[in-house]
Amino acid sequence: MHEASTITIRQATEADLYPLLSLVHDAMTVYARQSGITRPLESLCEDKADMLYHIRTDYVLVAERNGQMAGTVRLVRHGVSTAYFSRFAVLPHLRQTGVGRKLYEAAEAWLQSNGYVYVVLHTALTNEPLVSFYQARGFHLIHCAYDRGYPRGTFAKDIRPYQHQSAAGLDSRTSQHWTDSAGADDTETSQRRKDSGADNTGTSQRRTKI
């Protein structure tokens, strides 16, 4: 049983670079094992240049529990009104303490206040606790692919207040973007880094997307 704690959420800064790399590595290692994934995950191949790029370019949230980093999530814009919810990670020993719930609530509130309509994410369908977590928050499975060696589900949610929570409103172009089994999340990230002049030499070659 965990003692009473204070959980705070804030935007990541460049000073969080190394703690974030460590946190994501630890959490995603456990995620892969629990999901039965044997291939190297893209999230486990990110280096400091990758993480720094996302801190500067995307909206990265950090959860602190009693003043110590405990979780994170990365929100990436895709198109005008869709956000990609990724690198959702909580330190393994701090799961079931409210960190993940607080992180998700803060992320959705920020997206709503900034005009987003849809949130899309990927997760392994073999990870039943995580699938249940997303479904309990209104996400609907819109596609499943097996090309990466495991059943990888694409989930979507309409986050407009007072709307019926479903992915039915995704337009055909957005839906196709996310149901493409090849995935576009990491491909577009690499292109954005290239366009910005970030050094990503060799990074794409060692990534296996999640």
Q: What is the mean pLDDT, run by run of 10 residues, along the chain of 210 residues? A: 77 98 97 95 95 98 96 96 97 93 98 97 98 97 96 97 59 52 42 50 38
CB 148 within 8 A of CB 209: yes
* H or E element that contains 85: strand 82-90
Rounded distance between C-alpha atoms, residue 27 and residue 70, angstroms: 10
Please state the pTM of the whole predicted model.
0.82
Q: What is the pLDDT of residue 159?
A: 96
Ranges assigned E (strand) in 91-187 = 118-124, 140-145, 152-158
Pick the CATH number of 7-199 from 3.30.70.260, 2.60.120.260, 3.40.630.30, 3.30.830.10: 3.40.630.30
Q: What is the pLDDT of residue 161?
A: 83
Q: Where are the domains of the chain?
A: 7-199
